[in-house]
Amino acid sequence: MTDESTEARNGSRNPLEPMAGVVTVLCALVAVFLVLKAYAAVGIGGVFGWGDGSVCATDPSTQGGGEDWFSRVMEPRPGIEVSFTPRYCDYSPSGGARLLSTLTELPSSALYIGALFLLYWLIRAARQDGPYTFRTAGRLRLLGWYLAVGSLVCHVTESVAGAALLNSLRTADHRPLLYDVDHGMPYFALLTGIGLLSLARIMRVGAVMREDLEGVV
């Protein structure tokens, strides 16, 4: 009888699969993607507001339509109104404008890439020591805090940077810097982080019970 069939009969298959395999592959793909992004920024194009010669910002709070030129060009059917959102682009941006453009995109990308590698780090600990250990619970707790706090920090940073960039591309400041903070809150990442914190507590309790059982045996 093969080892695989024995594992299936005893219910001793690796409990971390298929997540462990998927996360490993994703980490490798992200590493390749980051290398290509760095190459693109330096050699063939712009990334996060650097290298492409322009910086743009969209104002979702302002919309036009009705009888204006854009609506007529789109040729809508009678009774149909076409609306559009203005997009401001600076083709000779300053370093400050490029920095603000970077801060509207980079934080969230860095957050989720970091979370992926923290998850890989967590899975390694679970593979080596088992899921119900203090080291595994500690790394899970770190990942939970990282997602819960990091998602809020990234959202506020991107919102403030986006409003500041938009104001820098117009003749007057019409939009408060905190205008978008209450829009598009990262509820999924926040709730996931909180859920991982609770799961880390459960795993820590399991680690204590495991140590007690080993002491009895």
The reported pLDDT for the residue numbered 9 is 43
Query: Structure pTM?
Result: 0.76
Query: Quick one: pLDDT at residue 5?
Result: 44
Q: Quote the tokens at residue 154.
A: 């990234």
CA distance 93 to 169: 9
* Low-confidence stretches of the chain (pLDDT beneath 50): 1-11, 44-45
Pick from 61, 59, 46: which is nearest to 93 by CA? 46
Please tell me the predicted confidence (pLDDT) of residue 121.
92
CA 145 to chain centre: 14
Helices assigned H by DSSP within the chain: 3-10, 19-39, 69-74, 95-103, 106-129, 134-168, 187-216
Q: Give residue 134's Cα distance to chain centre.
A: 27
- Residues 123 and 126: their CA atoms lie apart, in Å, by 5
* The predicted structure's pLDDT at residue 207: 85
Contacts for 15-24: CB closer than 8 Å, 24+ residues apart: 15/131, 16/123, 16/126, 16/127, 16/131, 19/123, 20/123, 20/127, 23/116, 23/119, 23/120, 23/123, 24/120
pLDDT at position 42: 52
**C-alpha 94: how far from chain center:** 27
- How high is the pLDDT of residue 131? 83
